[in-house]
């Protein structure tokens, strides 16, 4: 009997699937459609239309306009739109879904200006999708020359522009909009810039940092700048798919520019989550975000032999959003032999019988904390021979200033956190009190200086780059 029942059950299961009874594996996906120019209510541009799963035309959805760069230029015909369908966000949407209406128009020049500008397409879309677009959730993203379109959209300051909630320029140049930074605040708008640190003219990092700084100075909640390390002209491919969250980035404040570190623990989750969190009206601005400290620096890590209580060792400093509190971790290593007050590390009890001591410092603010160990060497008093400043380094140069005569540096090496030599300076003479200035154009992190002086053993010092 069992031999008859099992085949019968299998047959019934197959019939149920073919009849549509078992539907769990057949969930509806979003829909991508090519809409050639002038084929739908006189649409002024050809475009790719994405409608989310289970789309209902009478329901309100957030809308995202995605503006391509020069690689997507075309006439808007069906054949020309094939190019857009196979790249960037359109290609990603073939296998991923979001609860947005996404429109990817095609521009004939790639610069999105002239009589057939992005504003004209937006106004057309607001009429055609009148029953579906949530006018409280209008968002625009543009890459490369598409970002120039966003720049010109901001400069134009039209009623169409003012109705948008957010802008996401990527791998672009915003210098022309710096003087309009106040509009972002007065129009209750938000900007998130994504840029490759290694991008080049005219889209180098500085060409977006100026606009970001101008907005950030007015209201730090209104602008984010995320810069990806070891990346050139392709930051857009870090955004829609969320891969930027696990990519190395510039962090902290560097040369007066504060960067936003996008991680998998971001409160909005994805980029789309950030868009949704910023409706045009009806919601208060999110709290100002802070950056947790990621590096601690100690200006000097050696003392002379016989150093007693009260002897100054060095000054501790950390990156991260102020205020940052730096302390000695209670009970750790040799911390009991030292004291830290007002970021000044001093000897608390006699350092006798040993040549090295290990301490652990902690830097903390409201966004997080970090602990870092340092080795204090007894018998090398480089702090009285020369000083190293600034530490941490906020700009792109480092000064070593001799405090005595006849200091000759045989070699000065700069090692990154992985121990790789990033800079090397050989046979450097000096004069007492005259700073030696060295380039220090490094990515943020903790670096080690290895210093060889004539007739002295090698000395080491840790330097933080913000």
Specify the pairing of strand 312-318 against strand 296-298: antiparallel
Task: Answer whether residue 21 shows pLDDT above 70.
Answer: no
pLDDT for the residue 318: 79
- Check if the beta carbon of residue 354 is closer than 8 Å to that of residue 375: no
Residues paired with 225 in a beta bridge? 193
Q: What is the total residue count of the chain?
A: 466
Q: Where are the beta strands (DSSP E) in 329-454?
A: 338-341, 344-347, 356-365, 368-378, 386-389, 397-402, 409-415, 421-428, 436-439, 445-453
Q: Of 80 and 446, which is predicted with more confidence?
A: 80
Residue among 257, 357, 253 at smallest CA distance from 298? 357
Asked if pLDDT for residue 465 goes beyond 80, the answer is no
pLDDT digit string, tens, across residues 138-192: 999 999 999 999 999 999 999 999 999 999 999 999 999 999 999 999 999 999 9
Q: Return left, alpha or beta for 242; rule: phi > 0 is left, psi -120 to 50 is alpha, else beta.
A: left
Q: How would you classify residue 396: left for phi > 0, otherwise alpha for psi between -120 and 50, otherwise beta? A: alpha
CA angle at 91 for the pair 90 and 97, rounded to the nearest 5°: 70
Nearest to 285 by CA among 277, 296, 273, 293: 277
**Percentage of residues in the chain having pLDDT higher than 70:** 89
pLDDT band for 282, please (50, 70, 90 cuts).
low
- Lowest mean pLDDT segment, chosen from 119-128, 245-254, 380-389: 380-389
Name which residue leads in pLDDT, 266 or 134.
134
CB atoms within 10 A of CB 169: 32
| 158-167, 218-227, 426-435: range with lowest mean pLDDT | 426-435
pLDDT category of residue 304 using cuts at 50, 70 and 90: confident
pLDDT average, residue stretch 349-354: 78
pLDDT of residue 252: 85
| pLDDT number for residue 175 | 95
CA distance 333 to 354: 14
Residue 23 has pLDDT above 70, yes or no: no
pLDDT of residue 211: 97
Mean pLDDT of all residues in 460-466: 73
pLDDT tens, position by position, 179-209 = 999 999 999 999 999 999 999 999 999 999 9
pLDDT category, 355, cuts 50, 70, 90? confident
Query: Collapsing DSSP states into helix, strand and coil, what is residue 218?
Result: helix
What DSSP line would sit under 106-166, residue for residue? --SSSS--STT-HHHHHHHHHHHTTTTEEEEEEEEEEETHHHHHHHHHHHHT-HHHHT--E
163 backbone φψ class: left, alpha, beta (φ>0; ψ -120 to 50): alpha
pLDDT value for 292: 77
Per-residue pLDDT of 36-83, as tens digits, reads: 999 999 999 999 999 999 999 999 999 999 999 999 999 999 999 999
Q: What b/e sequence results for 443-452 when a residue is b if at least 16 CB atoms lie within 10 Å of its CB, and e otherwise? A: bbbbbebebe
DSSP, collapsed to helix, strand or coil, labels residue 10 as helix
pLDDT of residue 28: 62
Q: Predicted confidence band at 19 (pLDDT cuts at 50, 70, 90)?
A: very low
- Of the listed ranges 80-89, 114-123, 413-422, the least confidently predicted one is 413-422
Name the CA dihedral angle for 165, 171, 175, 180, rounded to a multiple of 10 degrees: 0
Confidence of residue 384 (pLDDT cuts 50, 70, 90): low
Q: Say whether pLDDT at 130 is over 80.
A: yes
What is the model's pLDDT at position 283? 52
Q: What is the DSSP letter of 343?
A: T
Percentage of the chain beyond pLDDT 90 is 52
Helix (H, G, I), strand (E, B) or coil at 90: helix
Q: Indicate the pairing of strand 338-341 with strand 409-415.
A: unpaired
CB 16 within 8 A of CB 24: no
pLDDT above 70: residue 13: no
- The 10s digit of each residue's pLDDT in 313-325 is 888 887 777 778 8
pLDDT at residue number 20: 35
């Amino acid at each position: 009997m069992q031999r008859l029942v099992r085949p019968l059950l299998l047959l019934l299961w197959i019939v149920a699937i073919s009849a549509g009874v078992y539907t769990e594996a057949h969930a509806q996906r979003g829909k991508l459609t090519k809409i050639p120019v002038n084929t739908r209510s006189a649409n002024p541009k050809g475009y790719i239309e994405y409608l989310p799963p289970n789309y209902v035309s009478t329901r309100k959805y957030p809308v995202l306009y995605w503006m391509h760069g020069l690689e997507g230029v075309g006439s808007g015909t069906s054949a020309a739109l094939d190019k857009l369908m196979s790249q960037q966000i359109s290609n990603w949407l073939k296998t991923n879904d979001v609860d947005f209406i996404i429109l990817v128009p095609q521009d004939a020049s790639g610069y999105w200006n002239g009589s057939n500008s992005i504003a004209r397409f937006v106004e057309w879309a607001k009429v055609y999708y009148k029953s579906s677009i949530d006018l409280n959730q209008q968002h625009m993203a543009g890459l490369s020359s598409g970002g120039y379109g966003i720049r010109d959209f901001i400069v134009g300051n039209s009623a169409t522009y003012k109705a948008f909630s957010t802008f996401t320029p990527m791998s672009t140049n915003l210098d022309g909009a710096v003087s309009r930074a106040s509009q972002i605040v007065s129009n209750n708008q938000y900007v998130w810039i994504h840029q490759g640190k290694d991008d080049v003219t005219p889209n180098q990092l500085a060409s977006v940092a100026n606009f970001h700084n101008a907005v950030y100075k007015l209201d730090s909640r209104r602008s984010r700048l995320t810069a990806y390390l070891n990346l050139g002209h392709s930051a857009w491919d870090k955004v829609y798919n969320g891969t930027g969250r696990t990519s190395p980035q510039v962090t902290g404040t560097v040369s007066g520019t504060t960067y936003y570190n996008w991680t998998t623990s971001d409160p909005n989750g994805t980029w789309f989550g950030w868009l949704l969190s910023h409706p045009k009206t009806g919601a208060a601005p999110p709290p100002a975000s802070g950056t947790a400290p990621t590096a601690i620096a100690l200006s000097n890590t050696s003392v002379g032999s016989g150093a007693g209580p009260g002897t100054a060792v060095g000054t501790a400093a950390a990156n991260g959003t102020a205020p940052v509190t730096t302390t000695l971790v209670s009970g750790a290593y040799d911390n009991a032999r030292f004291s830290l007050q007002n970021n000044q590390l001093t000897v608390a009890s006699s350092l006798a019988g040993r040549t090295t001591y290990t301490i652990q410092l902690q830097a903390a603010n409201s966004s997080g904390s970090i602990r870092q160990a340092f080795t204090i060497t007894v018998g090398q008093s480089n702090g009285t021979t020369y000083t190293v400043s600034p530490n941490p380094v906020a700009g792109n140069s480092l000064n070593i200033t001799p405090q005595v005569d006849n200091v000759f540096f045989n070699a000065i090496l700069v090692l990154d956190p992985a121990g790789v030599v990033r800079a090397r300076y050989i046979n450097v003479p000096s004069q007492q009190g005259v700073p030696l200035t060295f380039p220090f154009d490094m990515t943020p992190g903790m670096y080690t200086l290895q210093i060889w002086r004539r007739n002295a053993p090698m000395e080491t010092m840790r330097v933080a780059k913000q």
